[in-house]
Amino acid sequence: MVRFENVGLRYGQGAEILKDISFSVTKNSFQFLTGPSGAGKTSLLRLLFLSLRPTRGLISLFDQDATRLQPNEVAAIRRRIGIVFQDFRLLDHLTAYENVALPLRVAGRDEASYRGEVVELLGWVGLGERLDALPPILSGGEKQRIAIARALIVRPELLLADEPTGNVDAPLAKRLLRLFVELKNMGTAVVIATHDVALMDQFDAPRLVLNDGRLYYDR
């Protein structure tokens, strides 16, 4: 599904922040991506959802060379990926319901065909009563849950989450982790970037550890 071979990344003329990164993500897999702050976790995630292009090496996504994709092919691949941003990236003028439904709306689906799914998912993440709330009046945890619901609503083949439990309490973090595991069991490959050791200890999964721009496996 995803293959990185000797991938390097530098911003402009600066030093390489990711060096010789090689790993693969297979279907139905679950991996944590961890490392100290500034180790390059977010940059690696950005490479994974094609927001950045590597300065060297090969990235293959869904059997396509990521460096040779046309804009429309990039869009098509992104529709197979669900992403949860650390800073949520919600649209403040849309309600919680509309934010979660956005990927389906963009895909051209009729609202009647997805309304039930969106309401159910929002209910599952504990926001069933806040369908019409706008993000500016929601707490950080609530925004995070909306961001997660938005990533999950399309039933992605690959889920990338950047610190998805950073703003929620421990019980909800546990619940969300259970949701991610359930997704993995349904065939979705899950990569969760986190430095929350307690969270990682709750589920036995391979850990990709980034340190000083290099990637190490910790099983």
Partner 1 sequence: MSIFDAIFAKGSAGRTPILPRETVTGSTLLAVVAIMSFLAALTVGAVRIAQISVNEWRGELANEMTIQVKPAEGHDLDVDVKNILETVQRISGITEARVYTKEESEKLLAPWLGSNLDLGALPVPRLIRLKLGDQAAISALRAVLETIPNAALNDHRAFAARLTAISKTAALAGFLILVLVLLATVLSVSFATRGAVAANRPTVEVLHFIGARNSYIASLFQRHFFRVGFRGALLGGAVAVLLFVIFRFSGRLFGAIAGPGDAAFLLTSFNLDWRGYFEIAAAVLLTALVTALGSRFTVISTLRNID
Q: Are residues 6 and 21 in contact, defined by beta-carbon separation less than 8 angstroms?
A: yes
Under the criterion CB under 8 A, does residue 102 sit at the interface with partner 1? yes
**Among 22, 65, 111, 178, which residue sits at the site for partner 1 (rule: CB under 8 A)?**
111
Exactly one of 10, 56, 79, 130 binds partner 1 (CB under 8 A); which one? 79
Q: Does the protein bind partner 1 through residue 53 (CB under 8 A)?
A: no
Strand spans (E) along 67-148: 81-84
Residue closer to partner 1 (CB basis): 27 or 53:
53
The DSSP line for 155-170 is: --SEEEEESTTTTS-H
| 197 near partner 1, judged by CB under 8 A | no
Tokens of 104: 């389906």
Of the ranges 32-40, 105-113, 119-127, 198-206, which one interacts with partner 1 (CB under 8 A)?
A: 105-113
Binding flag, residue 150, partner 1 (CB under 8 A): yes
Applying CB under 8 A, the span of 55-63, 74-82, 187-195, 199-207 interacting with partner 1 comes to 74-82
Q: Give the tokens for residue 153.
A: 């609503």
Residue 177 and residue 32: Cα distance in Å, rounded?
A: 11
Please tell me whether residue 62 binds partner 1 under the rule CB under 8 A: no
Q: Dihedral sign, CA of 67, 71, 74, 76?
A: negative
* Residue 93 in contact with partner 1, rule: CB under 8 A: yes
76 binds partner 1 (CB under 8 A): yes
Number of residues that bind partner 1 (CB under 8 A): 30
Contacts (Cβ under 8 Å, ≥6 apart) of 201: none
SS3 state at 84: strand
In angstroms, the CA 118 to CA 112 distance is 11
- Which residue in the set 27, 67, 89, 197 belongs to the binding site for partner 1 (CB under 8 A)? 89
